[in-house]
Amino acid sequence: MITVKGVTPIDGISAFRRLFSCKKNKKIICKALKRSLLVSLWFVFLTFPIMVIKVNPVERTVSWRWGNIFYVAIGSFVISLLAKAWLVRKERLAARQQAAACPARDSIIHDLLQRPGYRYPLIILFSGVALVFPHLFSTYQANIMTTALMYIVLGLGLNIVVGVAGLLDLGYVAFYAIGAYSYALLNLHFHLGFWAALPIGGLLAALFGVLLGFPVLRLRGDYLAIVTLGFGEIIRLILENWNAFSKGPSGISNIPRPGFFGVEMSLDQAMIYMYYLMIGLVILTIFVVNRLQHSRLGRAWLALREDEIACQAMGIDKTRIKLTAFALGAFWAGLIGVIFAAKTTFVNPASFTFMESAIILAIVVLGGMGSIVGVILGALILILLPEYLRALSEYRMLAFGAILVAMMIFKPEGLIAGVRRTYCFQGRKNAAALQDDE
């Protein structure tokens, strides 16, 4: 007898029977099946011209890909059923929760991180794996991991702006570009080294954040999104067209890798060095961002996200708070820009398209807006998965788009929702003891 995870087929069938024996369930399931059938028919119609027909206008031939209809039908049927199931489950959970009045639980990861018994072993485990990673696996693997680490920092930076302060910045990649080009250009013209360029790139990006922020931050949320998108594109187009300044589309090459006290390194060593550098930077970022979030400033950002008018009425200078969020977000993008230039030893405008901003946004949205652990998880999933599942990499951007939509509909708080700091008070007016940060 075949068993799956200890469940015999008989069990499965009887569970299925039980599901159907309840009249209410039966009705719901029948309805959902019917609906999904209609949905799948609709999608067959909808995708017909683009999925089925492919023309070659030069050779004047048409290929009819009828097989695709089949995939569309099955796919949309299954997705529609799953969506319906999710919604029903969510409704029931909500109803049950209301009935029992039990508080919503933190995610498992936060639960673990908050218990001292698990927190430190977990952290030690992670650091151990991170430290030996390049020696366990190939340099190639370390290189991919370095990229993922870079996206963690980018995600954490954007998280300040979008996740915490609630300002939808679609031009985040512009700050990344500013960082990259400031290293490339400073090195080209003034032979500035990596370590000197690193803070300059970050600060320059932050400065641009402030300069851009001044005029646009009084705009409403959706206009802000568009203006930042426009700004990102303007920066890219300028880099593409202003040949005298940026060498145009061909970009700048031969950018030196980061130095280590003048030690000559082989390519492999340089990559591993880069990996450790990024580990260090990620730790620094987590530390800083965590402290920022749990500070007077971080609270003000959250309040701003929740209700701008109430926030102002409580005496918070909206513009100033937004500017700091913008500048601090941009700072990390600038730093990573410098590192990107050093890692690839080459920059050109094609690396800084809107899609790059969209990827970083997807990381933040998937992980959980405002949640540090969430953003880290989001970056690892979205960057590593397509690297390791090569078959998927073609569908990468498609998936990112789908993730943005699906997360908003099904789980707007992300995989791991941010936690708020809690306090416990002893006695009437005693010092408040703080529980641990995230």
341 lines the binding site for another protein (CB under 8 A)? no
219 lines the binding site for another protein (CB under 8 A)? yes
Taking CB under 8 A as the binding criterion, the range among 53-61, 91-99, 273-281, 338-346 that sits at the site for another protein is 53-61
Closest CA relative to residue 240, chosen from 347, 82, 329: 347
Taking CB under 8 A as the binding criterion, the range among 41-49, 89-97, 191-199, 338-346 that sits at the site for another protein is 41-49
Q: Pick the binder of another protein from 277, 281, 328, 363 (CB under 8 A).
A: 328
- Residue 191: left if φ>0, alpha if ψ -120 to 50, beta else—which one? left
Closest CA relative to residue 272, chosen from 258, 291, 292: 258
| Choice between 7 and 398, CB closer to another protein | 398
Measure the CA–CA gap between 231 and 226, rounded to whole angstroms. 9
Taking CB under 8 A as the binding criterion, the range among 26-34, 116-124, 149-157, 404-412 that sits at the site for another protein is 404-412
233 lines the binding site for another protein (CB under 8 A)? yes
| Choice between 224 and 270, CB closer to another protein | 224
Beta strands in 157-279 (DSSP E): 252-253
CB of 112 to another protein, least distance (A): 20
Taking CB under 8 A as the binding criterion, the range among 30-38, 177-185, 215-223, 263-271 that sits at the site for another protein is 215-223
**Which CA distances in Å does 152 have to 159, 203, 257, 360, 384?**
10, 19, 21, 9, 11
Local structure of 326: helix, strand or coil:
helix
| Choice between 342 and 417, CB closer to another protein | 417
Residue whose tokens read 């919604």 = 87
Q: Any idea what DSSP says for residue 7? A: B
CB of 95 to another protein, least distance (A): 17
Local structure of 369: helix, strand or coil:
coil
Interface residues for another protein in 349-388 (CB under 8 A)? 354-355, 358, 361-362, 365
Answer yes or no: are the C-beta atoms of 251 and 342 closer than 8 Å: no
411 lines the binding site for another protein (CB under 8 A)? no
* Neighbouring C-beta atoms of residue 314, cutoff 10 Å: 10
| Choice between 272 and 407, CB closer to another protein | 407
CB of 362 to another protein, least distance (A): 8
